[in-house]
Chain A
Amino acid sequence: MPLTAGGVSQSPELTNFALRPPEKVMRLDRMGSSFPTRLSFMRSLIRRMSREGWSFDRLRFEVDDDGYGVSIYAAHTPERTYSLVVFTNELDPQERSDRVIAEAWDATFSLFDGIPSVEDTERLRANTPKQEAGRFCPSELVLARANKSLRLFEHVVSSLAQGRQPDLKLLASVGYLMRTTAVYGSGKFGCADREKISGRKETRGAFQVEMLCVYLIRWFTIDLVEHIARCQGGSFAVPLAPEPRRFLGIGNATGLGMAPFLINHPVLIHKWVSARETALARVGSLESVSSETIEKFTKLVDRAIKHVEEWKVEDKLQKARITRLREDLESLIKWTREDGNLHQPFPWESLYCFAHTNFSLEGQELAVSLMLEPHGELVDDLSDHMHSSYELRLNPAMSVECLKELIEEKYGWALGIDFEDPEAQRHFWYYSEEKLEPRFGNREVDPGEEHEMPLAVGRDVSLLFSILNKVSAEETVGEFVIDRPEFRHIVRRVQSLVGFPYAEIRDNLVGDGMRPLDLLRFKLAFFGASKFDPKSDLWTRITMFQGAPLPEELDEYDPDDWAFPVQPS
């Protein structure tokens, strides 16, 4: 019998390895240990670019010797063109901030649907540099901004200007020339709604236009340093060598904005997790493995070991986790090389069991990512199932008794939390008046809890359940919510998510020890981000597209051979 999870089915013959249950997968500590996989959105975008033979053009590069001006980069798919319009300008160092509340940036970007006319570009020149304070049209798909990495940008420019390649250790320690601090899509500030592009095959998948925008920004940053170096060094200047070019990713600083998204799109989250878990189950169900795949896998584990060695952070907790992860990977390579382990029946199931029994959560999740890597033919189709436009709907005809049973069955994790304990409701999520920045408040310290965002799913379910116990069991849900409209949102959520087991995060999202960082890492891993570099429990820096083939390399380079990139030798 085929296993299914919300519409994603396993191949009928591959049923040995059960899907991991949501009560294991959808816990904050495991979500906060996520790694990108070959199903991640950056990976599927690069695969598509390569498969469909996308071409790329620099349409305009009108920047001065310091790199300030306007540029336009185009990506041509078989059916249409998308253009990145870039504005760069001088920035006072005191204004350089990763926060949403910043008001100026080194570079600002709009991803345009098509090729912008002169009038379009002038309109964007007046708006894109203002970011949230600008207004945009449905012809713009994404709005973004980035700041230079001061550590690396000037070093790369001066090295190239003097005719030498940059210091690879420094390059590896940062990983990018610029760091984006926001990438907005889906109708923000007047930009195009997702519905405008959700029917196109190249943008149907989740966050594909945002990923395309970031990929083009990466290309632009490399062009920019080479241009400034040429202006400074004249005939002495050299371009970046191919290996360090490819190793340069694009940075990102991510804060709390991602957290409400995860809670507010439960079916989409289910689809993402379901695809990954189904992929794992397919691989785990394989009865045997070829020696070619073993060789590929072993090389990949070796590469992952080096990648993790180069993963440097200051955060004490993450540092300790990385230390433990290195031990896990040493065990993994040893286990892999031991005679017989990968030659026994169901070798990947054995590998997963070994990891599950012996590794940290980070080690277990990295093992999952590694297991999927050599199995593109078996799992890549699942990336087509990682989007959703499903709307939650109330079922008014359901009886209160039935709703109670549903809560007991599906939300036992929430009923087990004592929300009478103030520590269980220590925090609240809210939008600040200051540029609508999402913030995580402490009820004892911060004002505004009356404007709390409705993200405390567990608490709201628990309260609903206690109220339902006082209502006639024969009453219908429709009658109940007429009298108690304050429960309408949570009733609708409970009813709608029955068939989506990975939709809910099975932890208290407002409790005293809750780390929003876990939510951020979970989402960023699905994007395909690496080198998570937490700066507090509330935000993290990451690297995107590090090691990915550049536009000029897509024809010749394996579009899938860039997982766990390592410093060029």
Chain B
Amino acid sequence: MSVSLLKLSLNEVRFYFTRAAVGVGVPFGLAEDFGRTVSWLACSGLDPARICAPVLQSLESGQSSLYPKLNQWNGEALLKPPPDKLLSAIQAGSFASDWIVPMEQKSGKNSYLSAENVDYPFLVAAALGASGCSGWAISWETSSEDRFLINYEENRSWDAFWSDRVVPENSGPGRLKITPADIGEPDRDVWLHREHRSSEDAAVVLETGVAVHESWPIIYSFFKRCLVPSTDGSHQAGAGAGLVDSD
């Protein structure tokens, strides 16, 4: 376990991560969704910097794209990234959260959403968790045939299952599918590992803060891109008050 560099409040998590996303070119509305997702990760007891740094770096390097092609038919939807690109989980997560709401309202639980070549599928899972959905499942498979499944339950808790040694938050790109959750216990022969997390974790975080580790400087460097360097003029007058107060 690496040493915690810093403990952040949830408010700081949203503030810094939202703007870090803006710093790599994510439009503000998507970045706000990303901030909410990151907050959910933090409430689940995970290091949000470690999970999000590669997501932002992938956008920064141009490997991932925010502009998928959407195909919809009969309540089913498919997101595809442009050729030779991965689909950013930031966009896929926002779309998935949007897509689920009318499905729930219409009780349209015969529908499903697929997304191809998503760069960090676990972040899409986190976006769904942050949206408060229940009775849905997200599953994905990577090119190395590692398989993952997350079921969302009532009261904002979730169960994660995985087939091999790679834990969901470390999984690489994959094709994902969001469907109504199956009733019944998942097959233990397929899913060798299981982890349950609940909303009680959020109460702990409010008492302890959110620990971020060695990836934090990456997030902060992206965040800093949103700041404007100070000039003599703005230093003197940009916020109104004088520099020395003798009153």
Residues on B with beta carbons closer than 8 Å to the beta carbon of A437: 238-239
Q: Is A433 interfacial (CB 8 A cutoff)?
A: yes
Residues on A with beta carbons closer than 8 Å to the beta carbon of B209: 137-138, 190
Distance between Cα atoms of A550 and B9 in the complex (Å): 33
| CB within 8 Å of A: which B17-70 residues | 26-30, 32-33, 36, 66-68, 70
Q: Is A539 interfacial (CB 8 A cutoff)?
A: yes
Q: Is B76 interfacial (CB 8 A cutoff)?
A: no
> Taking beta carbons and an 8 Å cutoff, which residues of B are in contact with A?
6-12, 26-30, 32-33, 36, 66-68, 70, 91, 94-95, 98-99, 101-102, 105, 206-209, 224-231, 233-235, 238-247
A196/B207 contact (C-beta < 8 A), A394-B98, A489-B28 known: yes
A97 & B228 in contact (Cβ 8 Å cutoff): no
Distance between Cα atoms of A255 and B226 in the complex (Å): 20
A538/B239 contact (C-beta < 8 A), A451-B227, A485-B91, A488-B30 known: yes
A447 & B27 in contact (Cβ 8 Å cutoff): no
B27 & A489 in contact (Cβ 8 Å cutoff): yes
What are 5 pairs between A and B in contact, CB < 8 Å?
A94-B244, A96-B246, A190-B7, A482-B67, A488-B29
- How close is A91's CB to chain B, nearest CB, in angstroms? 11
B206 & A138 in contact (Cβ 8 Å cutoff): yes
Q: Is A491 interfacial (CB 8 A cutoff)?
A: yes
A96 & B245 in contact (Cβ 8 Å cutoff): yes
B99 & A396 in contact (Cβ 8 Å cutoff): yes
A93 & B246 in contact (Cβ 8 Å cutoff): yes
Name the one of B68, B105, B240 contacting A536, with C-beta atoms under 8 angstroms: B240
Distance between Cα atoms of A101 and B91 in the complex (Å): 36
Q: Is A299 interfacial (CB 8 A cutoff)?
A: no
B11 & A396 in contact (Cβ 8 Å cutoff): no
Distance between Cα atoms of A478 and B207 in the complex (Å): 37
Q: Is A436 interfacial (CB 8 A cutoff)?
A: yes
Residues on B with beta carbons closer than 8 Å to the beta carbon of A187: 9-12
The closest CB in chain B to the CB of A96 belongs to B245
Residues on B with beta carbons closer than 8 Å to the beta carbon of A393: 101
A253 & B227 in contact (Cβ 8 Å cutoff): no
Distance between Cα atoms of A479 and B229 in the complex (Å): 37
A195 & B10 in contact (Cβ 8 Å cutoff): yes
Distance between Cα atoms of A537 and B66 in the complex (Å): 40
The closest CB in chain A to the CB of B15 belongs to A187
- How close is B199's CB to chain A, nearest CB, in angstroms? 12
| CB within 8 Å of B: which A512-569 residues | 535-539
Residues on A with beta carbons closer than 8 Å to the beta carbon of B241: 97-99, 253, 255, 535-536, 538-539
B229 & A433 in contact (Cβ 8 Å cutoff): yes
Residues on B with beta carbons closer than 8 Å to the beta carbon of A447: 228-229, 231
A145-153, A319-327, A360-368 - interface stretch: A145-153
Distance between Cα atoms of A98 and B242 in the complex (Å): 8
A97/B238 contact (C-beta < 8 A), A195-B206, A432-B230, A446-B233 known: no
Q: In which size bucket is the chain A interface?
A: 35 or more
The closest CB in chain A to the CB of B227 belongs to A433
A433/B224 contact (C-beta < 8 A), A150-B247, A396-B99 known: yes
A190 & B8 in contact (Cβ 8 Å cutoff): yes
Q: Is A434 interfacial (CB 8 A cutoff)?
A: yes
- How close is A48's CB to chain B, nearest CB, in angstroms? 23
Q: Among A98, A137, A438, which residue has the most Cβ atoms of chain B within 10 A? A: A98
Residues on A with beta carbons closer than 8 Å to the beta carbon of B207: 138, 196
The closest CB in chain A to the CB of B97 belongs to A394
Distance between Cα atoms of A430 and B229 in the complex (Å): 10
A535 & B240 in contact (Cβ 8 Å cutoff): yes
* Chain A 31-44 interface mask (CB, 8 Å, partner B; 1/0): 00000000000000
| CB within 8 Å of B: which A228-257 residues | 253, 255-256
A485 & B27 in contact (Cβ 8 Å cutoff): yes
Distance between Cα atoms of A439 and B238 in the complex (Å): 5
Name the one of A93, A391, A396, A438 contacting B98, with C-beta atoms under 8 angstroms: A396
Distance between Cα atoms of A42 and B32 in the complex (Å): 32
Residues on A with beta carbons closer than 8 Å to the beta carbon of B10: 187, 193, 195
A193 & B234 in contact (Cβ 8 Å cutoff): no
Residues on B with beta carbons closer than 8 Å to the beta carbon of A479: 70
A431/B32 contact (C-beta < 8 A), A97-B243, A97-B244, A439-B234 known: no
* Chain A 473-500 interface mask (CB, 8 Å, partner B; 1/0): 0000011011101111111100000000
- How close is B64's CB to chain A, nearest CB, in angstroms? 14
B240 & A537 in contact (Cβ 8 Å cutoff): yes
B9 & A97 in contact (Cβ 8 Å cutoff): no
Q: Is A454 interfacial (CB 8 A cutoff)?
A: yes
B227 & A446 in contact (Cβ 8 Å cutoff): no
Distance between Cα atoms of A446 and B91 in the complex (Å): 33
The closest CB in chain B to the CB of A437 belongs to B239
B245 & A489 in contact (Cβ 8 Å cutoff): no
Distance between Cα atoms of A495 and B117 in the complex (Å): 31
A255 & B240 in contact (Cβ 8 Å cutoff): yes
